[in-house]
Structures are given as structure tokens and as C-alpha cells.
Amino acid sequence: MIRLRRLLVPTDFSESARHALTYGISFAREYQAELLLLHVVEMVPVGYASDLFPVPMAEVFQELAGYARNELGKLAAECTGHGVATASWWFKGRPPPRS
């Protein structure tokens, strides 16, 4: 018999990721496993967004990171509401390309 202890569900907060989370919650409940949520905030180059949008990229990154923390918190609360032990992380970096 398979013994799952932890399930990783990466998310980009898209509708497809939402479907994956639904399956993750189901598996976590069935196997009494912990659900690990992960999001990667892409590193942006130093500079300005554009001439028309003169906001330093560091500020843009902070906005994106704040959004990620907020959304991961919502997803974690949803999972907890379904009786699933949940942990969530966000990292800065570059997500792998989609195949």
C-alpha cells in the first residue's frame, strides 16, 4: 500500500492550478498527508518597468511577492477548511519553462 506523507502542489494561481489543488486536497484527505503549496515569484531585472510606468522594479517585485503571500494564505486557509494540514512557501527565482 502506498503511504503518502506530503504532497507538493505548485501554483501560479491559474485556473489549471486550481484544478490541481482540488486533486491535491482530495489525495491529502485520503492519505492523511500534509499538503505543501509552492509559488515562485520571478526575479525581475533591476531598472524601470517602462518609460510610461516609471516604478523601480524592486517595488514591482515587492508587489508581486505581497500578492503571492496573500494568495497562498487564501489557498492554505481553504485547505485547512477541508481538514488538510497545509504548509505554504514562496520563493524568488525563475520557474522552469513549460513543456
The domain tally of the chain equals: 1
Buried b vs exposed e over 11-24: b needs ≥16 C-beta within 10 Å? beeeeebeeebeeb
Measured between alpha carbons, how far apart are the two ends of the chain, in Å?
32
Dump pLDDT digits (tens) for 14-50: 999 999 999 999 999 999 999 999 999 987 665 555 5
CATH of the domain at 58: 3.40.50.620
Is 29 among the domain residues?
Answer: yes
Identify whether 1 is part of a domain. no
Range of the domain at 89: 6-93
Question: CA nearest 41: which of 84, 82, 85, 72?
Answer: 72
Which residue do the cell numbers 533591476 mark?
46
Kindly report, residue by residue over 44-92, the tens digit of the pLDDT.
665 555 556 656 677 778 888 999 999 999 999 999 999 999 999 999 8
Give the model's pLDDT for residue 10.
95
